[in-house]
A and B are shown apart, each in its own frame.
Chain A
Amino acid sequence: MTPELQERIEQIASRYPSRRSALLPALHLVQRESNGYVDGAQLAAVAELIGVPVSEAFGVQSYYTMFERRPVGKFHLQVDTNIPAMLAGAEEIVAQLERSLDIRVGETTPDGLFTLSTVECLASCGTCPVIQVNDGYYESMTPQRTDALIASLRRGVLPDLPVQANFGSVCNVLLKRRGTPNATSLAVYRQTGGYRALPIALAKKPAEIVAEVKASNIRGRGGAGFPAGVKWSFLAKNTGKPTYLICNADEGEPGTFKDRQIMEYDPHLLIEGMTIAGYAIGANLGFIYIRGEFAWIAAILEKAIAEARQAGMLGRDILGRGFDYDLVVHVGAGAYVCGEETALIESLEGKRGNPRLKPPFPAVVGLYGCPTIVNNVETLASVPFIVEHGAAAFMHIGTANNFGPKIFGISGHVRRPGTYEYPLGTPLATLLDAAGGVDGRLKAVIVGGLSVPILTAAEAEGLIMDYDSCLKSGTMLGSGGIMVMNESTSIPRVALRAIRFYAHESCGQCTPCRQGSHTVATLLDKVVAGRGTLADLDLVVRLCRTIKGTTLCPTGEAFATPIEAMVTKFRDEFAALVR
């Protein structure tokens, strides 16, 4: 390793309270500097520099999908084939790439120019199919655009292929600046009402902010819907240890692409929210854990943070109020489970993203063993509004117990897939209309990201999109990622793709998740291939039912509910495939 590279790793390490946290960033850096992969010798050098055993460094490297241990092509084409992508024709794009590059998925062209891979949801559900090429996304890919991309890459040029992403807002809180030119800059953010909440917050006592957020009844937007203010109040007090705030930006639930709208187009909104939240909970350091595939969004955040620091909105003595606070952007490396808060903390500590046994909860023992609050991007981005306009104004939006605006990501068979900000409690029909209406006849819909029970068209009739209504209707609001399926959709194929995702993303710690997801995937593979039996279907359902409640973390059993729902609600379609 060159002294210059060592120096850069040292610099990264200095940002963290613990050196080991630099392991993921160091591996990213070395990989980028060495033709896209890190071999055994380089790994040993990184391990030694950071101060971890080679075995643990390898454990980390081989855990995350973005770390390569063998040479890859100059252009690594990674096609998202998860469900929203599948509904948008990603499989055809894969077939087209296999033909035009004359390689199969997992292979590299003999000239070393291209490697072709298929990957899990890249959070571009509204602009699918999407191909990740090295560190960037190519979205809304059609056969023509794919041809153009390959032709350009053959000339060695990463082309600029503009994307028209759909969005809309009736609340103007979270997507207020979506579509405003240069909204990522501090100047535009301020001109459009930004950084009004921060001085208000800093003039109050931290406890008053916590009380205000608690009073707003805002429920965590990550998926579980736990009241954020209540979570804050669980923080262990007087521990003599620092308190940390972590923003969960590991957006990876298939069908979910909302958080990136905020980070990519309105980063200061998140920064302001995190600064207020940090002040409220007594933190002096906050982290944004962003999924590794969002490298360019991490760069946008870094730039915005630097600008905010320059303007005295971050760093020492913010706005002259004696509050010191800074933010670190931590880039993940490809692992769905890291969206689970304790796995995220482990990952941020430079380890494999294995969820921890709970209790203790992060609010008591979190990052580096210190009290820690983990909140979703959308939750934290709502905080400035609550502080500026008050809990009452927030509760003016939405319905009882389900207050505030929500970004719904609508993908699949609709005419204008995209992100739409509506009050909680909006009818599903209104949202589908906003997205241009169903393309064809509605067959089924998954309304809260992949891990919630699928609804048939009949069940979705009259559905109200908030936490409590969805629960009453036999599903969950989850992340608000709505995947729409018309009559051309094969539910068994959707189920198979879903379980393959869960099996691929299992951390492997606990038996029911590791072996359960793998076993169900094997069984459904048999069924879809026409080699299955009715007994296999029964076994799938029985396994799903028994596994619920037995896993180490909630993500472990996440496959059980949706798969059970698909197989039981569309049993005829599965049964038609068996021997």
Chain B
Amino acid sequence: MQLTVDGRKIDAVAGQTVLEAARAAGIYIPALCYHPKTGKAGRCRACVVEIEGMRGLKEACAQEVRDGMVVHTDTDRVQQTRRLVVDLLLAEGHHNCISCQANGTCELQEMAYRIGVERPAFLIETEPAPLDVSSEGIVREADKCIQCGRCVLACQNHVVNEVLAFGYRGSHAAVVCDDDRPMGESSCVLCGECVQVCPVGALVLKQPREAKVRPSETVATKVTCPFCGVGCQIDLHTKDNRYVFAMAHEGQWLKQPNRGSLCVKGRFGLDFIDAPDRLRTPLVRKDGELVEASWDEALDLVAAGLKQAKDKYGPDSVGFFTSAKVTNEENYALGRLARAVIGTNNIDHCARL
């Protein structure tokens, strides 16, 4: 089907929302509370548009497309509302981009930039809220929270850890952990999903924050998580070829084995990459001492040893253990080595130990 957005005809699929269709066509509609993984929420009011034949402003994130629909995102009313949302969100809390971890990736900053809000229309003096640094991996800064609710929906419905919720109400409403305790003392399992969906700098990872590297400075490389056989797709964020932090790869998240989420290992367990005591070359024992060797030397030695054992004691004298940390493809390759090259069925997996 087709709809018209600001005079431009765009294609859409039944079941899509106006927001999804517009974004797919490259039309910018800000949306601070909507996230593909958490769905519509109607909270931020940033995505409201005008639709011909409908009264008032409509949430683009909640409105399903209909053939022939005529949508306006550039009317005075829509622009005024966007400005109001930015002004109100900036008026309270402490949104200081200069020192913010999310500078450059913040969706509120992006919206303000697009609208051209240099400084908010008004400011309300509020006491700064304390930082929550109690968690081992996540820093919470309530002053930067815009109450979009993505983290709550993600925690409750997407990863179903049920730790985060909204507590209190009105301008006192706040995201709380369990019965409003520091994150480090809560039932949080450090999956980091809340950080993954946070549009601003209210929930950030400790690793890059302490390394003083902003997400805007890193290069993301899609890799497969090495910790287990699920095959979670990770965006490995590096700077100057060094590991900084990990995010779940969210491109086509529904088709990823991990649905755009990670567990504590994939999220926080990858800092071994640049560990100084990490094995970088094979080691071969010579005269009782482990000494560095080349791959050729090491593999020749292993091949010779395996061949000797097979010749002397038969193929079943050799056995293989694979690891949950390698991919299906690697497990398959080892299976071929055991069965076709050595000729044994003695192959098992460390998960059965």
Contact = CB atoms under 8 A, between A and B. Distances in A.
A484 B148 CA distance: 40
B173 interface: yes
A60 B225 CA distance: 38
Interface string A536-576: 00010001001101111000000000000000000000000
A292 to B, nearest CB: 15
A56 interface: yes
Nearest to B121: A539
Interface in B158-198: 162-173, 176-180, 187
Given A54-B178, A55-B162, A515 B81 contact: no
A233 interface: no
B59 A515 contact: no
Contact of A508 (B59, B91, B162, B170): B170
Given A508-B147, A518-B92, A546-B81, A55 B170 contact: no
B42 interface: yes
A67 B173 CA distance: 16
A474 interface: no
Interface in A138-174: none
B21 to A, nearest CB: 18
B122 A519 contact: yes
A507 B168 CA distance: 9
A120 to B, nearest CB: 12
B169 A511 contact: no
Nearest to A47: B179
B46, B77, B156, B171, most chain A CB atoms within 10 A: B171
Nearest to B168: A62
A512 B45 contact: yes
B236 interface: no
B12 interface: no
Contacts of B170: 503-508, 514, 517-518
Given A58-B180, A512-B85, A546-B80, A357 B92 contact: no
B88 A55 contact: no
Contacts of B81: 546, 550
A58 B88 contact: no
Nearest to B155: A55
A508 B179 contact: no
B176 A59 contact: yes
Interface in B70-92: 77, 80-81, 84-85, 88-89, 91-92
Contacts of A55: 156, 162-165, 176-179
Contacts of A515: 88-89, 91-92, 171
Interface in A33-63: 40, 43-44, 53-59, 62-63
A134 interface: no
Interface size bracket, A side = 35 or more
Contacts of B43: 509-511, 552
B264 interface: no
B56 interface: yes
A423 interface: no
B44 interface: yes
B62 interface: yes
Contacts of B56: 549
Contact of A552 (B45, B80, B165, B171): B45
B45 A551 contact: yes
A58 B147 contact: no
Contacts of B179: 40, 43-44, 54-55, 57-58
A126 interface: no
A507 B62 CA distance: 20
Contacts of B167: 58-59, 62-63
B124 interface: yes
A547 B84 CA distance: 8
Contacts of B59: 357
B347 interface: no
Contacts of A330: none
Contact of A62 (B80, B84, B180): B180
A40, A509, A519, most chain B CB atoms within 10 A: A509
A519 B146 CA distance: 15
Given A357-B62, A503-B171, A509-B149, 10 more contacts: A55-B164, A55-B177, A509-B147, A514-B171, A516-B84, A518-B170, A519-B88, A550-B57, A551-B45, A552-B43
22 contacts: A55-B162, A55-B176, A55-B179, A57-B179, A59-B165, A59-B176, A62-B169, A63-B167, A357-B42, A506-B171, A508-B147, A509-B147, A509-B149, A510-B44, A510-B45, A511-B43, A512-B45, A512-B88, A517-B171, A519-B91, A549-B77, A550-B84
Interface of B: 40, 42-46, 48, 56-57, 59, 62, 77, 80-81, 84-85, 88-89, 91-92, 121-122, 124, 146-147, 149, 156, 162-173, 176-180, 187
8 interchain residue pairs of minimum CB distance: A508-B173, A53-B162, A55-B165, A515-B88, A518-B171, A506-B170, A59-B165, A357-B42
